[in-house]
């Protein structure tokens, strides 16, 4: 009787959740057909990027207290210097919110840039919806909007960012190789509402399912991107599941917390994170964290700048351009990022 | 004459207490009927049953010959035409008088409130009550007397023919009280029945026709006021003879030694240039109408408020500028505040803790406060002051007014305070407890303590004090150093600011 | 004994509810009751417990401190910096305590000196302190904290129990003694019970409030230092939202939000209940979405216990009379 009721409730919940999922799948850059990598773009449209005079981009970002976004910002400025070095009259102005929850503040920022008449907007929204009205304003004035990394602006013409789904695939593949394709694994989710968390988790699980892998996901729980929470979660799992062999975390911060739990339990468990933050690299060098999937924000923003300039020059880019990413473990942790992803700078050509 | 209210064998029990025992009596139509008894006698409980606040009780309530049983207070007002005007009138301060009077039953025009009709209806009632304010005024601007009138207007709006008034004059000035009595007489002439609860016996003699007396939850008797003396009334309420008039039973131990000297003390707009002396063994009276600034002077001396000018000397020593209540306590100065509930006791603390809070250093064993010592101390004062019930573990808020006052007195006795200021010491205290508090004051001066008694009850300050200072509008307007000068009209003249 | 029961009725009810919850988890997964898992429960209640015991002091005086999560982060960062720069670990801990006390005292100043509403004042310092944490670190985590420091809290004593569990228990005992046995405790309750009456009884209200906020800040600092030992690194975002869990633990344990009531024992049991719930839901693998719902419901039900108790008492009395 009780079980029946519970089942009924769970079914209802499942219906609700699947409803939400359907809504969220309206636009999913990870699954869009015709997506290109930057190499594809260069192969198709040529290495040269013509830059017209008087271009000013507006970069809208999330909290610079987060290393990821700081690195992204550095990439924008690195690209700016390279374009200017080519003699072009180009600049980018960047604004960022003080924390990762100030949705309205970010919208105001975007509107301000529209009002100042920037040539294009490169936005990394806090949520899937907070910039919607500002983006519509921009488009009304003929200013194109490039969505750089998540959240997702369905109305934006272009999306430039990593393939979060592929983050999960890479992590699963690596774990499978290291574990001889068998054993129990668990997933520490960021916030379930976050696109990146959903996609990374889905990629990880899909890889296991599609490859008939011997890996078995025995638990997946949410840790709010918080290091201490992730550590607590892992500690509970480890002492409940002595056969646990690997833990995939939706980001590095949580992975670093999980590593502490693994060390304390003196357990033999592989931990994989995502993001490739500096601390994760240090931890891999120290032999604690096992791997991370780096999406190279420094190059992501350079790709974004390049793509936006190409669009300005009239090239018809696809809706989605995937930015480089790679799995980093002890073998390639000291290799230069440019070498890992085979990065070369494009040739910017200034207008006469 | 027909009976407006009949109580038949009313019994009411709360968990563990039998608060009303077989109460039966009746109230005639169109009379002003007093309900008397000490605190805890059951008056409020009986009124709450009558007005539907306690829907669960045994026995029956008959109104105009018909048995009624109200679901709740609203049911009583709307369907029973019976209203209660509470001690602290409940109003929404940010609304207008009209909105408050009609609250919940506003006249409507279609879906919307008909404000024009609301105001004209309410103004008609207010005119009937001789009120100077109108329906469109904001309640926040009314005096407490006017709010009392508002509550009566609300009762009339619901066509109440039975109205209970619970301590209606507690916060009214003399003028407002007179105005209220005029209204009561007018209502009576229109056939409205009034139930009147008050501790002020003078008022009972002024306004009431008959009085029913409750004691310890039992009905004692109903007396015809015209044929009853004050002492008979008190005897019936208390069950024994008490000297209810404030007066000194022993000669005054007043000495010439000055323990407290106040010079040109001022505090912003509250009061200015206040100077006086307090002698050892003296009871110094402070009289004035509500708002004269007496309370503010005492709070400033005690360190609860900041002074803006002047000096205070304690035993000849000037008080430091950063004076506060903690320093006052350690210097042997104490204050029994006017409003026990908001200023006197900690609502969540039991009697032991409420007594001990100002003298914790006395109960230490090593670094820790010793519960046994605290209990012993509380028990001692409970015995000495005859506090009822003798339960040091009860929450103070559940005690009656007089006993709460004794708990607060015990606090200052425990702290061995030399100079104690009483602000309205017998407000809301019943007759018997009043007499006991007067006796305790005499005991205290006999032990060499010095007291200041602030009161707006003229008989109280006249009876108690060795000397009397009168304040009006923030200034001292008169000082009477000799008991023979004590004349009501002289004092009242000072109090209204004349010479 | 019966006196203990009657005085701590609420605490006992919450404790029994916690046991019932543990029993339910054990039925669903017998592994819940293993010693190692019980250890996990105690270890995971530590941070919230230490924060809760501190915030309870502020709440008892009728206040609140929303900035504890930020004090926690700042302390973690500063102590991490000290230890990484070879400051003696014990001196680092002393520095951490001073930082917590100073941040708490500033809250005390806002509440008593400027007479701000505690909710608003600490809402302000919540943002202010978080900002300081970002500015100090530039958003970069401080890492590589030496084991000489980490072992002080993170080391094991016996039966796998870590020192920080002992630290928490000692803190609760000290809090119990302060609240139940000292003058300061009596003043704290008096100020929360009726501030004006306390002032007119000669209680130094300002000093008492300062003590409450300083204790609160110091507890947040201790929690931050335990976190640092446990993770080996500190970052500016640490502790975001932790104040809500601490308030929940105090409330479940019977701390009155308007002040004047609350006990160390109650708050301990409140924190324990939340930890049992959290670990239990992980052990039986409750979906993340549902954990929010269950946690919320439990907090509401637990806080409602008191009212239910009153109702039941009145109901029984009525039955008896009829």
> What pLDDT is attached to residue C219?
98
Please report, for chain C, how many H helices and E strands are present, in that order. Answer: 14, 0
Higher pLDDT, B443 or A351: B443
The vertex-A127 CA angle with A122 and A130, nearest 5°, equals 75
Indicate the DSSP class of residue B342. Answer: I
- The span from the CA of B440 to the CA of B287, in Å, is 20
Q: Do C235 and A222 touch (CB under 8 A)?
A: no
Interface test with A, best of C137, C279, C284 (most A CBs within 10 A): C279
Q: How far apart are CA C184 and CA C198, in angstroms?
A: 13
In this complex, the residue of A98, A192, A219 whose CB is nearest that of residue C285 is A219
Q: Do C232 and A260 touch (CB under 8 A)?
A: yes
Domain of residue B308: give its range.
258-495
pLDDT of amino acid B489: 79
pLDDT at C306: 57
Residue, of B317 and C303, whose pLDDT is higher: B317
C201 touches chain B (CB under 8 A): yes
Of C177, C186, C313, the CB nearest to B15: C313
Phi-psi region at B476: left, alpha or beta (left = phi > 0; alpha = psi -120 to 50): beta
pLDDT of residue C318: 53
B206 phi and psi angles, rounded to 5 deg: -75, -40
How far apart CA B496 and CA C315 sit, in angstroms, is 55
Averaged pLDDT, A266-270: 94
Which tokens belong to A321? 């351009």
In a domain, B246, yes or no: no
In a domain, C1, yes or no: no
Give the closest of B56, B325, B353 to C199, CB-based. Answer: B325
Q: What percent of chain A has pLDDT over 70?
A: 92
Identify the pLDDT of residue A283: 94
Q: Which two tokens stand for residue C22?
A: 């543990």
Residue C2 resides in a domain: no
Nearest partner of A180 among A235, A245, A100, A133, judged by Cα: A245
Supply φ then ψ for residue B470, to 5 degrees. -115, 135
**Mean of the pLDDT values across residues C77-92?**
95
Residue A118 has pLDDT above 60, yes or no: yes
DSSP reduced 3-state for C49: helix
How is chain C split among helix, strand and coil, in percent rounded to 5?
80, 0, 20
Tell me how far apart the terminal alpha carbons of chain C are, to the nearest angstrom. Answer: 32
Contact indicator for C99, C73 with CB cutoff of 8 Å: no
Which pLDDT does position C315 carry in this prediction?
A: 57
When pLDDT is averaged across residues C43-48 and rounded to a whole number, the result is 94
Domain A29-161+297-324 matches domain A164-294 at the CATH topology level? yes
B90 found inside a domain: yes
Q: Report the DSSP beta bridge partners of residue B444.
A: none
Residues B427 and B314 in one domain: yes
Q: What six digits make up the tokens of B38? A: 């000490």
ipTM over 0.90: no
DSSP A164-232: HHHHHHHHHHHHHHHTTTEEEEEEEES-TT-HHHHHHHHHHHHHHHHTT-EEEEEEEEE-TT-HHHHHH
- Domain's final residue, options B238, B266, B283: B238
Strand-pair partners of B274: B265
CA distance B330 to chain C (A): 8
Size of interface B-C (CB pairs under 8 A): 89
Count the Cβ atoms, other than its own, within 10 Å of residue B276.
17
Q: What is the pLDDT of residues A105-117, one digit of tens each?
A: 898 899 989 988 8
Q: What is the CA radius of gyration of chain A?
A: 21
Q: pLDDT for A296-336, tens place per residue?
A: 999 999 999 999 999 999 899 999 999 999 999 999 999 99
Given an 8 Å threshold on Cβ–Cβ distance, is A222 in contact with C288? Answer: yes
To the nearest 10 degrees (0 to 180), the angle between helices C35-60 and C205-231 is 150
**pLDDT the model gives residue A18:** 43
pLDDT at C51: 97
pLDDT at residue B460, rounded to an integer? 87
State the DSSP code for B319. P
End-to-end CA distance of chain B: 51
Residue in this structure with the two tokens 């200015």, named with its chain if needed: B272
| B335 in the same domain as B195 | no
DSSP label at B21?
A: E
Give yes or no: residues B180 and B316 share one domain. no
Query: What span, in angstroms and rounded, lies between the C-alpha atoms of A311 and C122?
Result: 49
Is CATH 3.40.50.2300 the classification given to domain A29-161+297-324?
yes
Q: Give the separation between CA C77 and CA C228, rounded to whole angstroms.
A: 8
Q: Please indicate, yes or no, if residue B8 is contained in any of the structural domains.
A: yes
Domain membership flag for residue B249: no
C183 touches chain B (CB under 8 A): yes
Lowest mean pLDDT among B196-200, C87-91, C177-181: B196-200
Subunits in contact with chain A (3 or more CB pairs closer than 8 Å):
C
For residue C3, pLDDT over 90 is answered with no
The two three-digit tokens of residue A136, written as one number: 């519509």
Does B274 reside within a domain?
yes
Total count of domains within chain C: 1
User: Is A in contact with B (3 or more beta carbon pairs below 8 Å)?
Assistant: no
What average pLDDT does chain C have? 90
Would you give the DSSP letter of residue C156?
Answer: B
Distance from C1 to chain A by nearest Cα, in Å? 36
CB A173 within 8 A of CB A129: no
Q: Do B343 and C197 touch (CB under 8 A)?
A: yes
- Whether B277 and B317 have beta carbons less than 8 Å apart is answered as no
Are B29 and B2 contacting, i.e. CB atoms less than 8 angstroms apart?
yes
Same domain, B126 and B234: yes
Q: Which of B195-199, B205-209, C48-52, C288-292 has the lowest mean pLDDT?
A: C288-292
pLDDT at A17 over 50: no
Can you give the pLDDT at residue C311? Answer: 56
- On the question of pLDDT at C235 being above 50, the answer is yes
Domain that holds residue C18: 10-321
Q: Could you state, in chain order, the average pLDDT of each consecutive group of 10 residues for chain B (499 residues)?
A: 89 80 93 85 88 90 91 86 75 85 85 88 88 87 81 87 86 79 91 88 89 90 90 80 70 92 92 94 90 90 93 92 92 92 90 95 93 95 89 87 91 95 87 86 94 88 92 90 82 75
pLDDT in tens, B261-278: 999 999 988 899 999 999
- Are A241 and C252 in contact by the 8 Å Cβ rule? The answer is no
Nearest Cα residue to C120 out of C71, C69, C55, C66: C66
CATH of span A164-294: 3.40.50.2300
Q: How far is B414 from chain C (nearest CA, A)?
A: 12
Question: In the sheet that A244-249 helps form, which strands lie side by side, from edge to edge?
Answer: A214-222, A182-189, A244-249, A270-275, A291-294, A326-329
Q: What is the mean pLDDT of chain B?
A: 88
Question: Helix and strand tally (H, E) in chain B?
Answer: 16, 24
Which chains pack against B, by 3+ Cβ pairs within 8 A?
C
Locate the domains of chain A by residue range: 29-161+297-324, 164-294
CB within 8 Å: C194 and B345: yes
| Measured CA distances, A127 to A100, A149, A298, B161, B304 (Å) | 9, 11, 22, 64, 53
Q: Give the pairing type, strands B210-215 and B32-36.
A: parallel
Work out the mean pLDDT of chain A and round it to a whole number: 87
Asked if residue B394 belongs to a domain, the reply is yes
State the smallest CA–CA distance between residue C180 and chain B in angstroms. 8
Tell me, what's the pLDDT at C294?
86
- B213 and B270 share one domain: no
**CATH for B448:** 3.40.50.300
- Answer whether B330 sits within 8 Å of C194, measured CB to CB: no
Record the pTM: 0.79
% pLDDT > 90, chain B: 46
Extract the runs of DSSP E, i.e. beta strands, from B41-81.
58-63, 66-68
pLDDT at A306 (0 to 100): 94
B267 plus B216 within the same structural domain: no
- Which of B54, B332, B348 should one mutate to test binding to chain C, selecting the residue with the greatest count of C CBs within 10 A? B348
Residues of chain A in Cβ contact (below 8 Å) with chain C: 13, 17, 63-67, 70, 98-99, 189, 192, 219-222, 224, 226-228, 231-233, 235-237, 239-240, 253, 256-257, 260, 264, 278-279, 282
> Is B325 close to C314, i.e. CB distance below 8 A?
no
A&C contacts, CB < 8 Å: 80
Residue B488 domain-assigned (yes or no): yes
- Three-state DSSP state, B350: strand
Tens of pLDDT, residue by residue over B300-355, are 999 999 999 999 999 999 998 889 999 999 999 999 998 888 899 998 899 999 99
The whole-angstrom separation of Cα B446 and Cα A172 is 91
> For chain B, how many structural domains are there in total?
2
Of the pLDDT bands very low, low, confident and very high (cuts 50, 70, 90), residue C312 is low
Whether the predicted pLDDT of A338 surpasses 60: yes
Q: Does C283 map to a domain?
A: yes
Note the pLDDT of residue B374.
Answer: 95
B346 and C186 in contact by Cβ < 8 A? no
The pLDDT value given to residue A133: 85
- CB neighbour list of residue B381: distance below 8 Å, 6 or more residues apart: B355, B387, B406, B410, B413, B414
Inter-chain touch C194–B411, beta carbons under 8 Å: no
pLDDT at A19 (0 to 100):
41
- Is residue C228 within 8 A of residue C76, CB to CB? The reply is yes
Same domain, yes or no: B287 and B210: no
């Amino acid at each position: 009787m009780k079980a029946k009721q519970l089942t009924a409730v769970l079914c209802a919940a499942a219906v609700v959740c699947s409803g939400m999922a359907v809504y969220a799948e309206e636009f999913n850059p990870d699954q869009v057909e015709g997506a290109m990598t930057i190499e594809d773009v260069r192969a198709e449209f040529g290495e040269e990027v013509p830059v017209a005079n008087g271009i000013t981009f507006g970069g809208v970002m999330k909290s610079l207290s987060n290393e990821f976004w700081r690195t992204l910002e550095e990439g924008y400025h690195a690209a700016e210097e390279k374009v200017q070095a080519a003699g072009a009259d180009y600049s980018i102005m960047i604004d960022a919110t003080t924390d990762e929850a100030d949705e309205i503040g970010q919208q105001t920022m975007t509107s301000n840039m529209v009002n100042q008449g920037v040539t294009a907007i490169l936005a990394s929204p806090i949520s899937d919806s907070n910039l919607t009205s500002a983006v519509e304003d921009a488009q009304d004035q003929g200013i194109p909007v490039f969505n750089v990394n998540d959240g997702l602006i369905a109305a934006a013409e272009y999306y430039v960012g990593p393939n979060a789904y592929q983050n999960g695939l890479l992590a699963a593949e690596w774990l499978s190789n290291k574990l001889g394709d068998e054993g129990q694994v668990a997933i520490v989710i960021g916030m379930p509402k976050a696109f990146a968390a959903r996609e990374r988790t889905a990629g990880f699980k899909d890889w296991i399912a599609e490859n008939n892998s011997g890996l078995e996901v025995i638990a997946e729980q949410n840790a709010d991107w918080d290091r201490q929470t992730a550590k607590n979660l892992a500690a509970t799992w480890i002492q409940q599941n002595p056969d646990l062999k690997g833990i995939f975390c939706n980001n590095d911060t949580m992975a670093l917390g999980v590593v502490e739990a693994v060390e304390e339990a003196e357990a033999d468990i592989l931990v994989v994170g995502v993001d490739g933050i500096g601390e994760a690299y240090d931890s891999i060098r120290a032999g604690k964290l096992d791997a991370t999937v780096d999406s190279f924000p420094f190059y992501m923003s350079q790709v974004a700048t390049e793509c936006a300039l190409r669009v300005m020059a009239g090239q018809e880019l696809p809706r989605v351009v995937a930015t480089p990413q790679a799995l980093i473990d002890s073998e390639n942790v000291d290799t230069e990022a440019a070498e890992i992803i085979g990065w070369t700078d494009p040739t910017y050509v200034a207008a006469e | 004459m027909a009976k407006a209210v009949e109580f038949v064998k009313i019994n009411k029990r709360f968990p563990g207490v039998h608060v009303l025992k077989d109460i039966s009596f009746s109230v005639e139509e169109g009379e002003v009927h007093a309900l008397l008894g000490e605190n805890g006698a059951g008056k409020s409980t009986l009124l709450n049953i009558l007005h539907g606040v306690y829907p669960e009780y045994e026995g029956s309530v008959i109104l105009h010959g018909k048995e009624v049983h109200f679901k709740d207070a609203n049911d009583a007002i709307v369907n029973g035409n019976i209203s209660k005007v509470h001690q602290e009138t409940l109003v929404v301060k940010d609304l207008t008088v009209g909105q408050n009077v009609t609250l919940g039953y506003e006249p409507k025009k279609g879906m919307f409130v008909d404000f024009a009709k609301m105001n004209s209806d309410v103004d008609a009632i207010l005119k009937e009550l001789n009120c100077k304010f109108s329906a469109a005024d904001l309640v926040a601007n009314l005096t407490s007397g006017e709010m009392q009138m508002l509550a009566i207007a609300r009762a009339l709006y619901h066509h109440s023919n039975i109205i209970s008034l619970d301590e209606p004059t507690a916060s009214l000035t003399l003028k407002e009280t007179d105005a209220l009595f005029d209204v009561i007489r007018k209502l009576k002439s229109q056939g409205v029945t009034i139930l009147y609860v008050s501790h002020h016996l003078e008022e009972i003699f002024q306004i009431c026709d008959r009085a029913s007396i409750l004691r310890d939850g039992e009905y004692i008797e109903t007396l015809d006021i015209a044929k009853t003396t004050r002492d008979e009334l008190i005897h019936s309420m208390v069950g024994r003879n008490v000297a209810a008039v404030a007066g000194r039973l022993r000669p005054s131990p007043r000495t010439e030694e000055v323990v407290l000297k106040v010079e040109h003390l001022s505090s912003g707009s509250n009061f200015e240039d206040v100077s006086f002396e307090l002698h050892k063994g003296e009871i110094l009276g402070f009289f004035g109408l509500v708002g004269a600034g007496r309370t503010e002077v005492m709070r400033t001396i005690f360190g609860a408020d900041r002074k803006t000018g002047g000096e205070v000397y304690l035993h000849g020593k000037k008080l430091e500028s950063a004076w506060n209540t903690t320093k006052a306590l350690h210097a042997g100065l104490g204050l029994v505040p006017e409003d026990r509930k908001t200023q006197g006791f900690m609502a969540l603390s039991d009697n032991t803790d409420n007594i001990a809070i100002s003298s914790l250093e006395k109960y230490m064993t090593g670094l820790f406060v010793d519960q046994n010592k605290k209990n012993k101390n509380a028990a001692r004062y409970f015995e000495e002051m005859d506090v009822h019930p003798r339960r040091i573990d009860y929450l103070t808020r559940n005690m009656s007014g007089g006993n709460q006052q004794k708990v607060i007195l015990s606090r200052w006795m425990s702290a061995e305070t030399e100079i104690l200021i009483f602000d309205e010491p017998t407000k809301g205290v019943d007759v018997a407890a009043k007499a006991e508090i007067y006796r305790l004051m005499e005991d205290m001066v006999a032990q060499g303590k010095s007291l200041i008694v602030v009161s707006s009850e003229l008989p109280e300050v006249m009876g108690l004090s060795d000397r009397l200072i009168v304040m009006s509008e923030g200034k001292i307007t008169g000082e009477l150093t000799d008991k023979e000068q004590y004349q009501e009209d002289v004092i009242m003249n000072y109090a209204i600011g004349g010479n | 004994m019966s006196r203990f029961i009657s005085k701590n009725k609420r605490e006992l009810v919450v404790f029994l509810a916690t046991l019932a919850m543990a029993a339910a988890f054990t039925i669903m997964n017998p592994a819940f009751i293993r010693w190692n898992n019980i250890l996990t429960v105690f270890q995971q209640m530590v941070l919230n417990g230490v924060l809760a015991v501190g915030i309870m002091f502020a709440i008892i005086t009728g206040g609140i401190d929303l900035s504890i999560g930020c004090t926690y982060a700042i302390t973690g960062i500063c102590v991490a910096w000290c230890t990484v720069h070879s400051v003696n670990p014990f001196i680092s801990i002393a520095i951490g305590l001073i930082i917590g006390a100073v941040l708490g005292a500033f809250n005390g100043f806002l509440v008593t000196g400027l007479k701000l509403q505690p909710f608003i004042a600490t809402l302000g310092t919540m943002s202010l302190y978080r900002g300081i944490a970002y500015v100090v670190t530039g958003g970069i985590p401080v890492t590589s904290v030496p084991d000489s420091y980490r072992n002080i809290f993170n080391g094991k004593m016996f039966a796998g129990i870590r020192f920080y569990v002992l630290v928490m228990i000692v803190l609760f005992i000290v809090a119990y003694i302060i609240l139940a046995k000292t003058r300061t405790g009596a003043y704290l309750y008096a100020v929360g019970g009726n501030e004006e009456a306390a002032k007119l009884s000669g209680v130094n209200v300002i000093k008492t409030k300062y003590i409450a906020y300083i204790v609160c800040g110091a507890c947040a600092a201790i929690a931050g230092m335990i976190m640092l030992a446990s993770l080996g690194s500190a970052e500016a975002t640490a502790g975001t939202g932790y104040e809500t869990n601490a308030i929940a633990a105090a409330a479940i344990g019977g701390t009155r939000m308007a002040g004047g009531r609350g006990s160390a024992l109650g708050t301990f049991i409140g924190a324990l209940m939340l930890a049992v719930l959290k670990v239990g839901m992980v052990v039986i693998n409750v979906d993340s979405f549902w954990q929010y719902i269950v946690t919320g419901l439990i907090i509401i039900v637990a806080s409602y216990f008191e009212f239910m108790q009153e109702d039941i008492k009145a109901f029984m009395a009525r039955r008896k009379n009829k």
